[in-house]
Amino acid sequence: MKYVSYKDLQPGMCIARPIYGEDGQVLLNSGVILNENYIARLYGNGIPGAFVLTDHDEEVEVPELVTQRTRQSVIGHVKHVFESIELGKTFDMTPLGESVAAIVDEITANPNVLINLTDIRTFDGNIFAHCVNVCILSIIIGIKFNLNELELRELAIGAILHDIGKISIPPQILQKRGPLTQSEFDLVKRHTVNGWHILRNNNGIPLLSAHIAYQHHEQPNGKGYPRELLDEQIYLYAKIVAVADAYDAMTSARVYRQGMMPFQALRVIRQLREIQFNTTAADFLISSVVPYPIGTRVLLSSAEIGVVVDVNIEDRERPVVRLLFRADGSKYHLPKEVDLMREESLRIVRSLS
């Protein structure tokens, strides 16, 4: 099976893993053959993509960090909280708190799992999916900082609601294709302060979680916003969410651009690690995310094309690749796997999917 993002799903593809809606109901079961109606239904439910069966040669087992069921149910609860706040209604934090705790539990049960593309890549800048991604990445970084379960939950709640202040910013500014004017940017910056006010007034939300909304655009060099805080004035939670937020923003597609591939986004984080981020948090993210995730098609330096079937923990830039096509474009009829840890003359030039 392989993961296919929404825009690349085609009628005739066969669903390999069940797809769950926001309230946990099964939208499409495994074995279903996609048609235009089903694809439209996935879009309508904000589903970023699906696992589909593939040609036998590309068949790989993709590990799941957080189950689709948990992910979709959290997305539903975040959406509910956003909508309630937007309408000025009171809401109960309990369901969201419980589903966030479920994410923490699933990740802490398997803390060494590396983050594959499919765990977090989204489309269309779906704000709720983005919130969940930032939450997942933050928990993984938090575990590396040895945070305890209570701290991880505080971090996770703040991470999932870090952009709640955006509800008061006009969507046409948030989705604007071109560069923002100074006054538009000033307005966007306000989402931090707005978020702080919204969260600190809710009894179900720890104060430290509210600080995440306030501080997640601050930078240790004092050049962040809204208060240009210095390193020692910024909470660790906010430093963690800042890196997670930046990574997810880079890899997520927007209406006006494709998302970066993980290896490209990792490169940017590496370049900015001492400038814009807490270096330890950046390093923890870099060491948790797989640059060439399992299931990714890659172009090798030999001009052969293959699919990543396993990741080497010692050097994640050099995974095990199953060769699919020779340099002349002809297909390999017998699957041949190369471990790039052993084949030192070979390297990955770039990913193709």
Residues that bind Fe ion (CB under 5 A): 163
Sign of the CA dihedral with 100 first, then 106, 111, and 113 last: negative
Q: List, as one string, the DSSP characters of 290-305.
A: -SS-TT-EEEETTS-E
Instruction: Please tell me the total number of residues recorded for the chain in this structure.
Output: 353
- Of 6 and 277, nearer to Fe ion (C-beta) is 277
Q: List, as one string, the DSSP characters of 215-245.
A: HTT--TTS--SSS---GGGS-HHHHHHHHHH
- Of 224 and 319, nearer to Fe ion (C-beta) is 224
Q: For residue 211, with 0-12 CB atoms within 10 Å meaning exposed, 13-18 middle and 19 or more buried, which class applies? A: buried
Report how far residue 175's alpha carbon sits from residue 341's, in angstroms, rounded to the nearest whole number.
43
- Helix, strand, coil: what percent of the chain each, to 5? 45, 15, 40
- Of 163 and 218, nearer to Fe ion (C-beta) is 163
Residue nearest Fe ion by beta-carbon distance: 163
- Of 22 and 163, nearer to Fe ion (C-beta) is 163
One-letter amino acid of 129: A
* Tokens 């149910």, residue located: 73
Structure tokens that stand for 33 in this block = 């053959």
- Of 169 and 346, nearer to Fe ion (C-beta) is 169
CB of 216 to Fe ion, least distance (A): 6
Q: What are residue 348's phi and psi, to 5 degrees?
A: -85, 130
CB of 124 to Fe ion, least distance (A): 17
Chain center to CA of 283 = 17
Question: Strands 320-325 and 305-310: what pairing?
Answer: antiparallel
CB of 178 to Fe ion, least distance (A): 20
- Of 124 and 163, nearer to Fe ion (C-beta) is 163
Report how far residue 306's alpha carbon sits from residue 225's, in angstroms, rounded to the nearest whole number.
44
Q: Which residues of 242-256 are buried (b: 16+ CB within 10 A; e: fewer)?
A: bbbbbbbbbbbbeee
- Of 3 and 237, nearer to Fe ion (C-beta) is 237
CB of 18 to Fe ion, least distance (A): 32
- Of 225 and 325, nearer to Fe ion (C-beta) is 225
* Tokens 């800042």, residue located: 242
